[in-house]
Amino acid sequence: MLLCATLFIATTTMAQPNPITPAPLLFEWEEGELDIDKGLKLYIEENDEFTAEDYLRLEAAASQVGVAVKRVYKEPKSRYLRLRFGYGNFGEEGYAMTIDRSGVTITATYGAGLYYGLQTLRQIVEQYDPLPCCHIEDKPSFAYRGVLIDISRHFRSKEFLMRQIDMMARLKMNRLHLHLTDAAGWRIEIDAYPELTSFAAWRKPATWKEWWYGERGYVTEGTEGAYGGYLTKEDARELVAYAADRYITIIPEIEMPGHSDEVIATYPHLACTNKNPRQGDLCIGKEATFEMMQTILSEIIEIFPSEYIHIGGDEAGKGDWAQCDDCKRRMAEEGLAGVDELQSYMIHRIEMWLNERGRQIIGWDEILQGGLAPNATVMSWRGEEGGLAAAAAGHDVVMSPHGYCYIDAPQDAPYSQPESIGGYLPLERVYSYNPTPDTMPSDVALRVLGVQANLWAEFIVTDEHYEHMLWPRAIAIAEIGWSQRDVMHYSEFRERAIRIVDAMIEEGYSPFDLKNEIGNRPESKADVEHLARGKRVEYLMPSSYQYAPKYAAAGDATLTDGKRGTWTYADGRWQGFLGRGGVDVIIDLEEVTAIHSIAADFMQICGPGVFMPCLVEIAISEDGKNYTKIADIEHEVVVDELPSFKSFGWEGEAQARYIRYKAHRSRYSGFLFTDEIVVR
């Protein structure tokens, strides 16, 4: 199916670049062609290690390569599709493929390699008729190539998940991380606790945003207007089998101890004793918490055979624990120094319980806090630091840093995209990520299992929007996880990704239309020359008018360094101000100068709390003591859905050496971001 809408008939194959995604380790064009008009005869060499299930999987995959295939049991001499298993040293997932005038031969050490070889053949068939003769040798760079799909914030059906599994398999991805539980809804049936799906899986406001900024309540299944849903155990088992047939492992995530508002609302005896009416962290002081989590996990491991069970571990507030009698007693009894060690106590205990049942835990990098459980694997999301620390300590790591792998941000000019969490993460930025750069010590790099894209669904209501955000950026993650760096070239990849996207659209998927990409903010593409460039900027006291260390950009040089910001405040160009004040700076032009305009841009992205100023004051001085105000620019700040950018400035004729630019925060708490004060 994939790429059939953009069939390309090659005439001089020798001049063609690699047509396969992810890019293979070796692709060599050879002379000649293979006519496939009459179909191919599928011959799978027998092997004692092959199971009946293996044969069925490969026969099903062969039937989808886009050419008529007939299974035969005697080795044919021509027009064959021959699968050879148990040969060579290709690793668990590698393969070799040769297309010559007689047929196609795919050789692998294991069944997964044959399956991936068939996916490569599928892409060739979809682009060429007849097939060009070629030789391919291929194996993945990383063992873990994954995608997280969040079905808690907005529920996704079994059928939707199967569609994404199909695409993942065609791109040689092998891990689907299902975010099954979170405050917004519990999404997996648990027999021992039926209220998790009859109550905690349903809410009145359909959108996460309405619910989160409202009462955050839950309703009983069947209530008029209730929104929600969940996977039954039968659904989940069907998904596991469907994914396994495509050599994909589903990793379930059961969040603990944080992000557990829905559990506490349903079973309030698991709350801490300090009576906070809105608690999201399970009480670690209560044995009932462990009894419930272990019972839930017992049912989870019966459904999901994956080695890893994801236990979350991120963003626990921990404030209630410090005020809870049960938690304080637990800390005293266990000799724990504080709430970080209390969380570590829980992680250790859950890990031991799972290890005894033959499973391993994986969690977000906050599980490092208070001491990492002995056998835990870390998924590093807040940057790479957590992953590096865990790997250096001898733990396996999956890299998923926010700045490259959190694909819930807009992938094109934000004004052109549906509402999202904010920021800007284009395909090129995702593709640039290297999980094991040359600067990483080799012993640490060996601990990096792979890479994962995470797509959180707070602002993603519909299935169509979810696919729009997922593809094609997940295609980039697939190539990062599979291909060697020396065969990765963005310009070539982009052309291949456009071809895949166009075909997906023809098939009924809803990916981002890459070929019509607008691109980065025009102002950011070249440095700007102006009178204040390189001039000293004085940040006035008090400290409430100082930039936030996390968003310092180039520090004191930022506002006159000539570099304009991109579509995102996290690009190291926008400078962020958080506090009671706002922006209050003086620029020294070094001599009295004729000026006719002073302006600075601000952005507004309400989701993460970035707002325009409500007032901008501009004043000038020749001596640095006596200032004349030349502009009062008022602005009504209103909460809106889409990101916006606005210039606040003055135009006229004046003489000045010093310019004071002051931007006031509005009534909304949050950041002010500006990138350059341009003086002309």
The per-residue pLDDT for range 562-616, each reduced to its tens digit, is 999 999 998 999 999 997 789 999 999 999 999 999 999 999 998 889 999 999 9
**Of the listed ranges 30-44, 83-97, 284-298, the one predicted with least confidence:** 83-97
Half-sphere exposure (CA, 13 Å, Cβ side) for 383? 6
Residue 316 has pLDDT above 70, yes or no: yes
Q: Which of 259, 395, 468, 530 is catalytic?
A: 259
DSSP 635-674: ------SS-EEEEEEEEEEEEEEEEEEEEE--SS-SBEEE
Residue 212 neighbours by CB distance under 10 Å = 13
Q: Which two tokens stand for residue 402?
A: 């926010």
Q: How confident is the model at residue 12 (pLDDT cuts 50, 70, 90)?
A: very low
Mean pLDDT, to the nearest integer, of 436-446? Answer: 92
> 29-61: per-residue pLDDT in tens?
999 999 999 999 999 998 877 888 889 999 999
CA distance 343 to 317: 11
Residues paired with residue 151 on neighbouring β-strands, in sequence order: none
Tell me which residue has tokens 């001085």: 621
CA distance 669 to 57: 55
Tell me which residue has tokens 């001898």: 394
pLDDT value for 177: 98
Strands 377-380 and 360-364: parallel
Q: Which of 221, 315, 502, 588 is catalytic?
A: 315
Peptide bond into 441 cis (omega under 30): no
pLDDT value for 11: 37
DSSP 481-507: HHS-GGG--HHHHHHHHHHHHHHHHHH
Q: How confident is the model at residue 165 (pLDDT cuts 50, 70, 90)?
A: very high
Residue 220 has pLDDT above 60, yes or no: yes
CA distance 184 to 151: 10
Three-state secondary-structure class, residue 6: helix
Mean pLDDT, to the nearest integer, of 202-210? Answer: 95
Tell me which residue has tokens 């929600």: 228
Task: Give the closest residue to 129 by CA, choosing from 2, 9, 5, 1.
Answer: 9
Residue 275 has pLDDT above 90, yes or no: no
Mean pLDDT, to the nearest integer, of 496-504? Answer: 98
Residue 26 has pLDDT above 80, yes or no: yes
Q: How confident is the model at residue 147 (pLDDT cuts 50, 70, 90)?
A: very high
pLDDT value for 4: 38
Three-state secondary-structure class, residue 544: helix
pLDDT value for 640: 86
> 392-416: per-residue pLDDT in tens?
889 999 999 999 999 999 999 998 9
For residue 268, give every residue at least 6 positions away whose Cβ sits within 8 Å of its Cβ, in sequence order, or none: none
CA distance 474 to 453: 6
Residues paired with residue 252 on neighbouring β-strands, in sequence order: 178
User: Helices marked H in 33-157 — which ranges?
Assistant: 52-62, 111-127
Residue 638 has pLDDT above 70, yes or no: yes
* CA distances in angstroms from 526 to 351, 518, 521, 553, 564, listed in the order given: 51, 16, 10, 17, 8
pLDDT value for 356: 97
The number of helices, as runs of H, and strands, as runs of E, in the chain is 18, 26
Mean pLDDT, to the nearest integer, of 540-545? Answer: 76
Strands 308-312 and 360-364: parallel
Mean pLDDT, to the nearest integer, of 644-671? Answer: 95
Entry pTM: 0.92
Express as a percent the part of the chain with pLDDT over 90. Answer: 86
Q: How confident is the model at residue 540 (pLDDT cuts 50, 70, 90)?
A: very high
pLDDT value for 5: 35
User: Helices marked H in 304-395 — which ranges?
Assistant: 319-322, 325-334, 339-355, 385-392
Active site residue 182: yes
484 CB-contact burial (10 Å; exposed 0-12 / middle 13-18 / buried 19+): middle
Burial 578-599 (b: 16+ CB within 10 A, else e): bbebbbbbbbebeeeeebeebb
CA distance 502 to 510: 10
Tell me which residue has tokens 């209220």: 195
Crossing angle for the helix pair 339-355 and 287-303, to the nearest 10 degrees: 40
Q: Which two tokens stand for residue 282?
A: 């399970």
Mean pLDDT of the chain: 94
Task: For 370-382, give the secondary structure using H, E and C.
Answer: CCCCCCCEEEECC
> 95-124: per-residue pLDDT in tens?
999 999 999 999 999 999 999 999 999 999
Residue 544 has pLDDT above 80, yes or no: no
Q: How confident is the model at residue 246 (pLDDT cuts 50, 70, 90)?
A: very high
User: Helices marked H in 193-324 — which ranges?
Assistant: 195-198, 208-212, 233-244, 261-266, 287-303, 319-322
Q: Which of 129, 182, 261, 326 is catalytic?
A: 182
**Which residue ranges form the domains of the chain, and what is each CATH number?**
4-138 (3.30.379.10), 144-516 (3.20.20.80), 522-679 (2.60.120.260)
DSSP classification of residue 416 = G
DSSP 547-615: BPGGG-TTGGGGGGSS----S-TTSSSSEEE-SSSEEEEEEEEEEEEEEEEEEEEEEEBTTTTB---SE
pLDDT value for 10: 37
CA distance 277 to 620: 52
Q: How confident is the model at residue 382 (pLDDT cuts 50, 70, 90)?
A: confident
